Structure 1
Amino acid sequence: MLRLIKPVTWFPPMWAFLCGAVSSGVALGAEWPIVLLGIVLAGPITCGMSQAANDWCDRHVDAINEPDRPIPSGRIPGRWGLWIALAMSVLSLAVGSQFGPWGFGATVFAVIGAWAYSVEPIRLKRSGIWGPGLVGLCYEGLPWFTGAAILVAGAPRWEIVATAALYALGAHGIMTLNDFKALEGDRVMGVNSLPVTLGPDRAARVACWVMTVPQLVVVGLLLLWSKPIFAAVVAVLILGQFAAMRVMLRDPKAKAPWYNGTGVLLYISGMMVAAFALRGLA
Structure 2
Amino acid sequence: MGGAVRGYLELLRPVNSVAAALLTLIGGFIAAGVTANQWHLGAAVLSTVFATGAGNTINDYFDRDIDRINDPERPIPRGDVHPKGALIWSAGLFAGAIVLAITLPPVAILIAILNFMGLVSYTILFKGHPGAGNALVAYLGGSTFLFGAAAVGAVWDGAVLFALAALSTFAREVIKDIEDIAGDRSEGLTTLPIAFGSGPAFGVASVALIGAVVASPIPYLTELFGLPYLAVVGPADFLMLVALFKSRSDPGTGHKWLKYGMFLAAVAFIVGRLSIVLT
Same fold (TM over 0.5): yes
> Residues 12 and 139 of structure 1 are in contact (CA less than 8 Å); yes or no, is this contact kept in structure 2?
no
Shift of 1:193: 2.2
Deviations 1:151-180 (A, max 9, x none): 12xx533x5323323322332112222334
Shift of 1:50: 0.2
User: Which residue is equivalent to 2:147?
Assistant: 146
> Residues 3 and 70 of structure 1 are in contact (CA less than 8 Å); yes or no, is this contact kept in structure 2?
yes
Of the structure 1 ranges 226-235 and 59-68, higher mean CA displacement relative to structure 2 is found in 226-235
Structure 1 unpaired stretches of 5+:
none
Per the alignment, in what secondary structure is the counterpart of residue 126 of structure 1? coil
CA distance in 1, matches of 2:249, 2:163: 30
In structure 2, which of residues 107, 111, 118 is the aligned counterpart of residue 106 of structure 1? 111
User: Which residue is equivalent to 1:17?
Assistant: 24
Per the alignment, in what secondary structure is the counterpart of residue 195 of structure 1? helix
Shift of 1:60: 1.7
Shift of 1:129: 1.4
User: Which residue is equivalent to 1:5?
Assistant: 12
Equivalences for residues 18-57 of structure 1 within 5 A: 18-28=25-35, 31-43=37-49, 45-57=50-62
Structure 2 unpaired stretches of 5+:
1-7
Does 2:254 align with 1:253?
no
User: Which residue is equivalent to 2:4?
Assistant: none
CA RMSD, aligned part only?
2.9
> Residues 67 and 74 of structure 2 are in contact (CA less than 8 Å); yes or no, is this contact kept in structure 1?
yes
1:257–1:231 CA distance, 2 compared to 1 (3 A):
closer
Shift of 1:243: 3.2
AA of the residue aligned to 1:229:
L
> Residues 54 and 90 of structure 2 are in contact (CA less than 8 Å); yes or no, is this contact kept in structure 1?
yes
Give the total of aligned pairs: 271
1:182–1:50 CA distance, 2 compared to 1 (3 A):
same
User: Which residue is equivalent to 1:178?
Assistant: 176
> Residues 113 and 138 of structure 1 are in contact (CA less than 8 Å); yes or no, is this contact kept in structure 2?
yes
Per the alignment, in what secondary structure is the counterpart of residue 34 of structure 2? coil
TM-score w.r.t. structure 1 length?
Answer: 0.82
Deviations 1:112-152 (A, max 9, x none): 10011012xxx201123121111111122x22112111112
Deviations 1:63-120 (A, max 9, x none): 222223222233212511222222222221112112232332222211110011012x
Higher relative contact order (CA 8 A, sep 6+): 1
1:274–1:126 CA distance, 2 compared to 1 (3 A):
farther
Shift of 1:219: 1.2
Of the structure 1 ranges 209-218 and 268-277, higher mean CA displacement relative to structure 2 is found in 268-277
Shift of 1:221: 5.4
CA distance in 2, matches of 1:261, 1:226: 24
Deviations 1:234-264 (A, max 9, x none): 3443234323433x14523342343245333
Q: What percentage of residue pairs aligned between the two structures are identical?
A: 20
TM-score w.r.t. structure 2 length?
Answer: 0.83
In structure 2, which of residues 56, 59, 69 is the aligned counterpart of residue 64 of structure 1? 69
User: Which residue is equivalent to 1:269?
Assistant: 267
> Residues 201 and 249 of structure 1 are in contact (CA less than 8 Å); yes or no, is this contact kept in structure 2?
no
User: Which residue is equivalent to 1:204?
Assistant: 202
Per the alignment, in what secondary structure is the counterpart of residue 4 of structure 1? helix
1:225–1:268 CA distance, 2 compared to 1 (3 A):
closer
Per the alignment, in what secondary structure is the counterpart of residue 67 of structure 1? coil
